[in-house]
Structures are given as structure tokens and as C-alpha cells.
A and B are shown apart, each in its own frame.
Chain A
Amino acid sequence: MAAHLSYGRVNLNVLREAVRRELREFLDKCAGSKAIVWDEYLTGPFGLIAQYSLLKEHEVEKMFTLKGSRLPAADVKNIIFVVRPRLELMDIISENVLSEDRRGPARDFHILFVPRRSLLCEQRLKDLGVLGSFIHREEYSLDLIPFDGDLLSMESEGAFKECYLESDQTSLYHAAKGLMTLQALYGTIPQIFGKGECARQVANMMIRMKREFTGSQNSIFPVFDNLLLLDRNVDLLTPLATQLTYEGLIDEIYGIQNSYVKLPPEKFAPKKQGDGGKDLPTEAKKLQLNSAEELYAEIRDKNFNAVGSVLSKKAKVISAAFEERHNAKTVGEIKQFVSQLPHMQAARGSLANHTSIAELIKDVTTSEDFFDKLTVEQEFMSGIDTDKVNSYIEDCIAQKHPLIKVLRLVCLQSVCNSGLKQKVLDYYKREILQTYGYEHILTLYNLEKAGLLKPQTGGRNTYPTVRKTLRLWMDDVNEQNPTDISYVYSGYAPLSVRLAQLLSRPGWRSIEEVLRILPGPHFEERQPLPTGLQKKRQPGENRVTLIFFLGGVTFAEIAALRFLSQLEDGGTEYVIATTKLINGASWIESLMEKPF
């Protein structure tokens, strides 16, 4: 069912099975038939670990999403609320419970907090007079959710804001807990590296937790050799740039949620002759995107410019395979052909889908505006004209392009200039407030606080030093057969991934100067292993590094890390964990102020 999770160097199915078991145990605790009322945000992440069939096996008969007033009628014994610990949700739950109480036959109410119980929420339930109605109030520590064979995410949408704006450590605590869970399953990670304030804190928490829990020695042979903790604010630049890998572009244009994407249906209508365009589906086409799909696994991390040729090659192979049927003469040959048919049909379906998606993306990437935007981004990243008002950004504001797009570009310029000149910053601010509304002062303030959009202080632009030392801008980029990670942004090599690359070889000592420019401390910790568990590496055996992005990671960065993992002489394979899968738009959006 989730075989793709075990394809990687580390079998993440073990983690998935563990969290599934915990879920089953909770469900069995509430004996009898049940209905689950979902916090809508959680259904996506839950879908990655348990299908409805699992819930059904444990007598879940109905499922609703959490909404105000009354619950829909359901003839069940138990009603289980599965929610994030958020105050506003408690208010809705209490409405549900109170109206249910008036309705008649008593039900058993339960509440499952994900990922943590919250005293604050329970207090709110108590204030609302419903806390006593719940028989089981428990937590479900779904900290890290396996997304793919090499990818884990906490899917905590507010993590960056909490960490870097509010300086609230809660999501860091969850990250540390998630790491403890991983170590319980995959062995103690002997070496921890980190860069950034939050990284330092997570490492501290882990060390402290380990000290507290060492009742029993962890006797599992370590799977991971290193852990690299990276603060998102060490590299604010990368998510702002437009991702140019296939998967990255799908995310930029349509948004991938919990590995699903919703696409405009027109391109996916089954082609029937004489239909004359009638009955076009109106509902968005929903596709799951992960490495379980062979073709997707092959093209997801390629630069979009290299996707077309792969697709057309595949098309030839598949149609040749179908042509084989004419050569099948004997019964045996026909039988063999027929046995391959399901696989071939699946491949053909997959090819058709991705051809359609590629066409949709191409419509965007070949547009004039996309080209103009990309040109400006690339100029900024290569250090051209970052210190004056940019006319393309001006035009975008004048034409009232989406605010997020404008903010993303202005922030990119600011980051590539170590802050903007006060005059330039004031100009942009004024234009934005007049065009999009004065209330965005609050958002601009948040961006400034997060270091994304700020005045240049100290009068020195340090970005060129960072760019040159880390070789962030590569002029000769090969998009078809890449030789460097910079292919994921057609020229720009993501800073975060460069740091990981340099850590594995030749080590951070070579870039001390740049590390001092980037915010936060860098450090190394060791977690001693008993001699029996120490690894004797075979010559040529790759190291496995778990890299944890605190504050989010983009698909393009993931692609770059996969590229490094696949290098023949790379020496390191990466498993990626993060608080949230992000892109520039979702990231900026998480920093925008909305009404309470």
C-alpha cells in the first residue's frame, strides 16, 4: 500500500507502521461503532498514513469535517474529534457537543489532539462547560509524517512564523520529539551538525530528552550517520526564487497539498469522438504525486526543460510495446503480451497524465510575464541591479499583480542586497500600501522582523561574498544532464543545499568566513554509541545524512539533495525532514496578517 516508502536507503515504512499502530490502538479504546469528526486541516496528513479502510476495520462508520452548530445525524456509539490543539476549534467542538446533548441518546465523546494535548485547549473546553463530556482525551504524536521514501514532514503550517517571528519554541519541541521517535526506530544518530538559532535549540532539546529517557539503552543499530539541522533563516533566499524543476513548478503553479495536486479538468477529459466538447468535467482533477509512480519518480526532479524529451521517449517506448501485439503469433506469446497489459496500460495512463500536466505548465512558462519575472529573479540572484527600484516590480504593482508575487520579488531583491537602501524600501512600501491597502503595514512589519524585507544596515552588502564563496550562481548550467545542483533553478544553486554539500565534503572548516556572515551559530555534537553499535563502514559505502529544515523546505531543494544522493562519487545519501513543505507563495502567505 505504501511500498514506495521502503524504496529508499532508510525504510520509512517502519515509521508509518508505528504511527498506524498507535492510531488503531486509540480507536480500539473507544469500543463500539464510531464517527470521526475531523479538523479539516488534518485529513490531508492523515490520508498519508491511513486510508478509510483502516478506520473502517476499527468500526469507524461515519466521518464528518468539523463545523459549527450541529453534527450530522449518525447512529453510532462514539464520536471522536480529531483536532489540532487550537482554541477556535475548541469553541466549535463545544457547540457540537452541547447541541448533541440536547438531541437525545447519550453518546460517548472523545477527543484526540494531534500532535499534542494542550492544557490551554482543555481549559477552554472546561470554561465552555463541556470538558466533562469527553471520556478519552488523548494525544496522537504524529510529529513526522512520511511523504516519500526519503521525505518526512511535520506539516505544521505556522512553524516558520512561530519560530522566527514569535520565537515560540513549540514547533521546535515537536521537531525534537519527532527526532527522538526516529532515533527510537532507527537508532541513535552519532553526529549532529547544525547552523542557526533554532537548530541549536533543537539539538539542546534532543540532548536533554536523551538524558531523561536513557532508562533503557537504545539497542538499535544506527541507520543514520549524521543529522544536519538547518534554520530556514540561514537561507531566506532559496524559497523566494521560482522553482524550475517539474515537481517544483507543479507546486508553484497549482500547489501540492499532502502529495496531492488539483488540476484544471479540461486537459484530462477522456477523448471521445463525436462528443463535440460536451460533458467536460467541471470538477478539478486530483492526482497523487509520489515515487510510487515510476514515470513521476523519473521526471519529478528534472529541470522542466528536460522533461519534454523524456516524455516523448517514453511515448515511443510505450507505443512500440503496444505494437508488439502484432508480432504475437503463438498462444504463449499472446498470453505473455496479455500478462504485461495491465502494467503497460498503467504506464500509458501515467504518461498521458504527465503529458497533460507538462502542457499546462508549458503554457505558463512560455508566457511573457513568466519570462520577465524569471529574468528579474536571475538578475537579483546573480547580483545585478539589486540596489535600485526595479521597473518590473513597479509594473507589477501598477498592474495590481497578486500581492504575494510582488512581495516575493521585493523580498528577493532585499535578501540579495543584504537589505534595501532606505529610499528604495520606502518607495516600495508606499507603492504597496497605496495599491493593496494600508493594513498591509502589518505584513510588511512581519517580513521585516523575519529578515526578509529590511533596510540595509551597516552599509555593507554581504551577499556577493556568500554568492562567490558558495558558488551560488553558475553561468554554465546543463539542464538536460546536470553536473551541479544549480540546475534546479537554472543557474542558482540553493544555499541550503550547498551548505549540506560542503559539510559532507570537504567540511565546514573551509567556509568559516561565510558561516559567520550567515545568521546563528554553527555547531557539532556527538552522541556516543556503545561499541557494539558503532558502524564499520565498508569502503565505498555511502553515509546517510538526515537533513532537517526548520521552517520549511521547497521541492527544488529536495530535488537538489536527491541529485547529490545519486552522484556516483557523492559519498552521502540524504533523507529529508522538515516542519513544512513550502514554496515562496505559501511561505509569504504564512507571514501575512489576517483578522483574528
Chain B
Amino acid sequence: MNRTKGDEEEYWNSSKFKAFTFDDEDDELSQVVNSLRDFVDDDDADDDLERVSWSISWSIKETSSNSGSNHEREQLKNRNSFSSYAQLPKPASTYSLSSFFRGRTRPGSFQSLSDALSDTSAKSYAPELGRPKGEYRDYSNDWSPSDTVRRLRKGKVCSLERFRSLQDKLQLLEEAVSMHDGNVITAVLIFLKRTLSKEILFRELEVRQVALRHLIHFLKEIGDQKLLLDLFRFLDRTEELALTHYREHLNIQDPEKRKEFLKTCIGLPFSAEDSAHIQDHYTLLERQIIIEANDRHLESAGQTEIFRKHPRKASILNMPLVTTLFYSCFYHYTEAEGTFSSPVNLKKTFKIPEKQYVLTALAARAKLRAWHDVDALFTTKNWLGYTKKRAPIGFHRVVEILHKNSAPVQILQEYVNLVEDVDTKLNLATKFKCHDVVIDTCRDLKDRQQLLVYRSKVDKGSAEEEKIDAILNSSVSSCSLRLQQCQETVHRVGDVGTFADNCSPLIIVKPSG
């Protein structure tokens, strides 16, 4: 690559000089220039060859040899191209010897371009069929589809404009696909996309799946949404069509515009499940826009206590549903069902499951330390008017959440006591230092041992220690405790014994490996 920068610029900037062109101009001059460029390039190819000196490059640069004389190199080259061609599954009739000879009658300086020609002479088997007569004047540039693809693959400049018939173009594509090189396949697809009508392009690609997938990937990459949607429509890939359209909302920042866009997604052929979600997505954003406008106003007016005490950290726009519910439980808990921002309204509109609702409301109210709201959340009245505590999420979860929001011990204690499973209760009480619950539970379990252990954990001289001591010293209870322990121990030993008896044959039978 020893051209000067000036040449290069001139080359690229001049509209007449085409390389791998994407423009519609297609005049003769540019083709001639293009072909000259091809010769120059071939010189370069040989330069490449000279420069290459290390052993692995032959496989990378696709040149066969890296040492020896020019002569040997050419021989090798020729052999290469022959051997590779011989194995290509091509009907013989598409090749003609005439192109072989045409290569020799090229105008231009043979002297300086001899390398390029020797290369060409062996390689240029151009397909004859389906090529219009007029093409023959393009003799200086008649790389066959496979040569063209080969050159593209080397990253060389190559005009595709000369492939005019559909058949040529498709052959070009097939050559590219058979090389597996995505880069070249894409280059050819760009050319086809530009020179073929949409209908024909789609029709031909439908039966060429590999190329089709590359086109889809390429359209995604360059963001040609319109053509991509047309393609999916043509292929009748409805779900992909819908999702691709929907995906675009991610790029719309303005909430109003995004909302309008989401509206266009409703009714697209999503799966039944997804359809409902898309509808919800739209409704949610619609709500958020209303809530946001309202609350921003309230907050700036400075009249509402909750906003003054707890200024909003971020806008609610584009937040997930559960986050929105949390927000509404935080700022709009007591609102009547009729307002868009009320939690109950959200729950109904989006059919939020009870569990999810309770969890979220609990977290929000606990954060505000509104303990009576928390209490109300779990209090149910039966028809006789008795109140009962019930938690669809389980009281162990309630305790965890309360603790996370640093609820005071009295509150925690109340809910720890409601945990049904004794072991869980004891664990939670120990973890969150609800001493009374631990002590009472141990007492109820008559577990003297554990009580003794726990005594060492509480503060010396504290009320808890006194309480424990009182229980331990109560002779009646301690007596019965001891008895119970003895019985238990006997029991356990027995258990272990039978367990071991049952297991031993198994252990013996089991193969050692």
C-alpha cells in the first residue's frame, strides 16, 4: 500500500472513481478506471506476498507461498486456483475458454502488470450464460462471481456493478454464502438491496436462509427498521414483526412520544400473553405521565406534607409496575380508588396479585414507619367482628421486611410472635434480638439448655437476664425440665441406634468407586 495520500484522496473523492461502489452511476469510464485500479491492486497483492515472512500468514492472507522465486510462486498460485476450482461443484457449461483468452488481450501495459495478468489468466473463468451481449465491452473487468467474491474477501476493491442480470447477482450471492464470510455476504447483500426490487430480493432470500439471516442481522445493525418490518411481513414472521416494532420504543426518550408509540404496538400480532403485557405497558406509562405531572406540581407547590418531608428522588416515568405501586403506596396511600394514583386503583387495573400488593404496601408503609398502616394490612375481621391477623406472604417475610426498615423491637416482636413454625420463630427472634420471644418460646418448649445458652448472650444485669433466671430457678419447672431432657436423650440415642442399624447394610452394599 504505497500510494500517496493525495492519490488516495483523489481516488475516493472523485465521483467517477468507483471502487466497491454503492452509487447508482454506472458509466463506462468509471469501470475502466475501476479495472485499472484492479491491476494496481494486484501489484499490491504481490507486495503483500513479499512482505509476508512468517509462517502462518499463508493461511490468513490466502497466498500460498512465502518464499522462493516469483516463478515458483506463480506456479503455486496457478496450481492453487486450479485445484480449488476443480473441486467447486459447478456445471461445466457455465465456463468458457474465451474468457481465458480475453484476459490476454487486455489493453494496458503488460510489462508492469505481468503479475496481475498471470494471476488472472488462470483464474478468470467467467460465467457466460445469462450475460447480456453488451457486457462484453466490459472486458477489462470481467471477474467471475467467484473471483469477485474472492477479491472482496481479501478486502480488495471490486466493482459489483457489472453483475446486472438477476442470475448473475444470485450467483454472486451464492458464491459469497459458500465462502461463509459474513463480511462478504453482507457486501453482496447491500448491492442486491440497492439493485433489486424489494419483492424480488425478499422472494429470492426466502429460499436462501443463510443469506436471509445475514440480511436481517445487517438491517438490525444499521437500524433500517422499515425494511426489516417489510421483510418480516413478507415472510409472515408475525411475532418477530411485532417485537421488532415494539423494540423501537427503547429509543424514544420523550414520554409522550413513547406513549404514543406504545399505542401503535397494541394489536400487533404478539402471542396472547405478550399482548396483555404490551397493553399494560401502554396503560402504565399513560398513568405515570398523569401521576408525574400531578406530583411534580404538588411537590413544587410545597403544600403537601408528604412531599415536603420526603422529596422525590426521581421521576416515576418508565419505572416498572411494582416500583410504581410502591411509589403510590408511599405518596398516595390513602387516596380513594377513583384516582389514577391510588394503590387500589393500580392493583385493580393491572390485576396485581394480593401477595405482590401486600409485599409492596408493607415495604412502603414500613419505610414511612406508619405502623398502624402495617397493622391494618394484616388485620382481618370475620363476620362476628373478631379480628384476626393473617399474612398471605407469611409472617416470617413480614418480619424480614420490617427489620430491613429498622422497625423498633416492640413492633418486630409482635410479628415474630405471629410466626407459626416454632423453629422459624426462634431463629427470627434470636436473629433480631427479640429477647422476650426467645425466652418465652424456650420456656414453652421447656428447653432449659437453650435458655442457658441464651442467658450468656443477653446483657449482664438486664431485665432479660432476670427473667431467664426466674424461669430457671423455678424449681418445679426445672425439675420437670430435667425429666423431660432425660427422656429426650434416651429417645435420641434410640433413634440413632436404629438409624445406624438401618443404614449399615446400605453402606456395605454400595460400591466403593
Contacts and interface: CB of A to CB of B under 8 A. Distances in A.
Is B truly associated with A? yes
B180 A176 contact: yes
B80 A166 contact: no
B322 interface: yes
B60 A181 contact: yes
B180 A201 contact: yes
A594 B84 CA distance: 43
**Chain B interface bracket (under 10, 10 to 19, 20 to 34, 35 or more):** 35 or more
- For A118, A180, A212, A216, the residue with the greatest tally of chain B CB atoms inside 10 Å of its CB is A212
B324 to A, nearest CB: 10
Given A119-B183, A169-B182, A434-B322, A441 B277 contact: yes
B76 interface: yes
A185 B55 contact: yes
Contacts of B222: 87
A135 B8 contact: yes
Interface in A130-169: 131-139, 141, 162, 166-169
Nearest to A140: B60
Interface in A453-480: none
Contacts of B181: 170, 173
Interface of B is mostly: helix
Contact of A119 (B20, B83, B277): B20
A426 to B, nearest CB: 6
A445 B393 CA distance: 30
A161 to B, nearest CB: 10
Contact of B250 (A108, A117, A139, A439): A439
Contacts of B239: 445
Contacts of A435: 320-322
A25 interface: yes
B11 A215 contact: no
Interface of A is mostly: helix
Nearest to B186: A120
Contacts of A139: 155
A36 B452 CA distance: 71
A404 to B, nearest CB: 15
A119 B180 contact: no
Contacts of B407: none
A116 B56 CA distance: 16
Interface in A563-596: 593-596
Interface in B267-307: 273-274, 277-278, 280-281, 284
A212 B62 contact: yes
A434 B352 contact: yes
Given A132-B9, A433-B277, A596 B223 contact: yes
A199 to B, nearest CB: 14
Contacts of B281: 438-439
Contacts of B261: none
B172 interface: no
B20 A441 contact: no
Contact of A120 (B65, B190, B356): B190
Interface stretch (B210-218, B330-338, B378-386, B413-421): B210-218
A176 B184 CA distance: 16
A184 B359 contact: no
A119 B54 contact: no
Interface residues of A, number: 74
B309 interface: no
A388 interface: no
- For A85, A395, A398, A429, the residue with the greatest tally of chain B CB atoms inside 10 Å of its CB is A398
A166 B79 CA distance: 38
A18 B250 contact: no
B320 A595 contact: no
A434 B350 contact: yes
Contact of A596 (B5, B58, B250, B321): B250
Contact of A25 (B51, B213, B249, B356): B51
Interface in B165-193: 178, 180-184, 186-187, 190
- For B56, B210, B246, B251, the residue with the greatest tally of chain A CB atoms inside 10 Å of its CB is B56
B121 interface: no
A595 B273 contact: no
Nearest to A449: B240
A215 B65 contact: yes
Interface of A: 18, 21-22, 25, 29, 85, 87, 108, 116-120, 122-123, 126, 131-139, 141, 162, 166-170, 172-173, 176-177, 180-181, 183-185, 201, 204-205, 208-209, 211-216, 395, 398, 400, 426, 429-431, 433-439, 441-442, 445, 483, 593-596
For the complex of A and B, list the 9 residue pairs with the smallest distance between their C-beta atoms, beginning with the closest: A215-B64, A170-B182, A438-B281, A132-B12, A132-B9, A595-B250, A119-B187, A437-B320, A215-B80
Interface of B: 1, 5, 8-9, 11-13, 20, 22, 51, 54-60, 62, 64-65, 76-77, 79-80, 83-84, 87, 152, 155, 178, 180-184, 186-187, 190, 210, 213-214, 216-218, 220-223, 239, 243, 246-247, 249-251, 273-274, 277-278, 280-281, 284, 318-322, 350, 352, 355-356, 359, 393, 397, 513
